[in-house]
Amino acid sequence: MKPLKALIFDSYYDDYRGVILYVRFFSGELKKGEEIKMMASGAKALALEIGKLQPKMTPYDDMSAGEIGYIVTNLKTTREAKVGDTITLAKAPAEKPLPGYKNVQPFVYAGFFPVSNEDYQDLKDAVEKLSLSDSALQFEPENSPVLGFGVRIGFLGLLHMDIIRERLEREYDLDLVITNPSTDYHVKMTTGEDLDIKSAADLPDMSKISEIREPWIKGEIVVPQEYVGSVIQLIVSKRGLQTNLSYIDERVLISFQAPLANLLTDFYDQLKSVTSGYGSFNYELWEYKADDLVRVDFYVAGEIVDALSIMCHRSESTKIGREVTAKLKEVIPRQNFQVALQAAIGGKFIARETLSAYRKDVTTGLYGGDVSRKKKVLAKQKRGKKRMKKFGNVEIPSEAFTVMLKRD
Residue 134 CA to residue 111 CA, distance in Å, equals 18
Which residues, in sequence order, are bridge partners of residue 259? 216
pLDDT of 133 higher than 90: no
Q: Which of 16-20, 273-277, 375-379, 386-390 has the highest mean pLDDT?
A: 273-277
Rounded distance, CA 362 to CA 86, Å?
78
Residue 391 has pLDDT above 50, yes or no: no
pLDDT, tens digit (0-9, with 9 covering 90-100), for 172-212 = 999 888 888 889 999 999 998 999 988 888 889 888 999 99
CATH class, 108-178 region: alpha beta
Which numeric CATH code is attached to 5-89? 2.40.30.10
Residue 50 has pLDDT above 90, yes or no: yes
Rounded Cα–Cα distance for residues 226 and 351 (Å): 38
pLDDT > 70 in the chain, percent: 90
CATH topology classification for 213-290: Alpha-Beta Plaits (3.30.70)
State the pLDDT at residue 1.
75
pLDDT at 265 over 80: no
Q: Which amino acid is residue 276, in one-letter code?
A: S
CATH, range 292-358: 3.30.70.2570
Query: Mind giving me the DSSP string for 173-206?
Result: ---EEEPPPB--EEEEETTS-EEEESSGGG---G
Please enumerate in sequence order all residues whose Cβ is within 8 A of that of 260, keeping only pairs 6 or more positions apart, or say none: 107, 108, 183, 214, 215, 216, 217, 285
Same fold: 108-178 with 292-358: yes
For the residues 366-392, what does the mean pLDDT come to?
A: 61
Q: Which stretch of DSSP H or E encloses residue 329? A: helix 314-331
Per-residue b/e over 366-387, b at no fewer than 16 CB within 10 Å?
A: eeeeeeeeeeeeeeeeeeebee
Give Cα 266 to chain centroid, integer Å: 13
Domain boundaries, the chain: 5-89, 108-178, 213-290, 292-358, 361-392
Asked whether residue 67 carries a pLDDT value surpassing 80, the answer given is yes
Q: Summarize pLDDT for 303-331 with one digit per residue, the tens.
A: 888 888 889 999 999 999 999 999 889 88
Residue-wise pLDDT tens digits, 139-176? 999 888 777 899 999 998 888 888 999 999 999 999 88
Residues 6+ apart with CB under 8 A from 181: 108, 109, 110, 155, 158, 161, 264, 265, 405
Top pLDDT among 116 and 397 is at 116
β partners of residue 154? 109, 138
220-222-224 Cα angle (round to 5): 155
Q: Is residue 322 within 8 Å of residue 394, measured between CB atoms?
A: no
